[in-house]
Amino acid sequence: MAIIPTDLLDRIRALERQVRELMGSANTTPAQNSIVGGEVVIGERGRLRVRTAGDQDLVYLGRVAPDRDEETPQQGLVVRRDDGSLALTVWTGAPDPTAVQPVRVLDRRGNVIVADDTVRGGLARPYIPYSLPAPADPARWESTTATTWTTLHRGPGLVQHPRLHCRIAAEGGAGGEVRLLVDGDQVGPVGGPGAGLVLTERMAAEYGATVTFEIQARVTTPGTTIRCRPLTLYGLES
């Protein structure tokens, strides 16, 4: 048997090792769930679509319905909760090439709780009232000398938050009281001269309901007077 040089055997073994490595790499699928230093491009009217384990749509990013017209697709964003309810949208339901897409955040019942204004910009929802200017001189505040609850201020309100914050200034003799009513029911504690009334309480009315606010006052000592002035009334989160 002929003698084979040792260096030739080593070279054959190296070639066999390289062939095995090449065959192994050819049968191995590279990872498809990681992008490092690159980007994903979806074009030609395409979109990214994410579905839940129950095969329900969760996210649309890219083309969304309806199209702006027969030639122009609408590009936007639609995000749903895993129960199917809309949570966030950047789209318009109007098949109009010039329609502006509002950004909207919705609660689980489908109420739009945050949105931008598509005409002049800024905030569309929630509606935020300005504080109403009132007399600075306590002598000009609404007052009563009655020993029974008397309504001094009344007005409507639109419920947009689950809780209510209220501050009422009060001035007068000792023993005077002020309180806040919503649709005829007292909300929170009773206040009085000096500290006034400050409260943060849960609203009983549903979102979007119109309610009536009343500020009432009374004196516990006949012959004395109590005056009050609402300072602020606005909604808060849970």
Q: What is the pLDDT of residue 96?
A: 83
Q: Choose between 105 and 11: higher pLDDT.
A: 105
Please give the distance of CA 200 from its chain centroid, rounded to a whole number. Answer: 20
Backbone angles phi, psi at 14, to 5 degrees: -65, -40
User: Which contiguous run of DSSP H or E holds residue 180?
Assistant: strand 177-182
Q: Band the pLDDT of 31: cuts 50, 70, 90.
A: low
Q: What is the pLDDT of residues 138-192, one digit of tens each?
A: 999 999 999 999 999 999 999 989 999 999 999 998 889 999 999 999 999 999 9
Q: Say yes or no to pLDDT of 13 above 60.
A: yes
Residue 101 token pair: 């897409």
39: pLDDT confidence band, cut at 50, 70 and 90? confident
Nearest Cα residue to 50 out of 80, 87, 86 = 80
Span 198-226, pLDDT tens digits: 999 999 999 889 999 999 999 999 999 99
Look over the chain and give the mean of its residue pLDDT values, rounded to a whole number: 89
Instruction: Answer whether residue 47 shows pLDDT above 80.
Output: yes
How large is the average pLDDT for residues 42-46?
86
Quick one: which H or E segment has residue 22? helix 6-26
Give the rounded percent of residues in the chain with a pLDDT score beyond 70: 95
Is 2's pLDDT higher than 60? no
Examine the pLDDT at 29 and tell me if it is beyond 70.
no
pLDDT of residue 130: 75
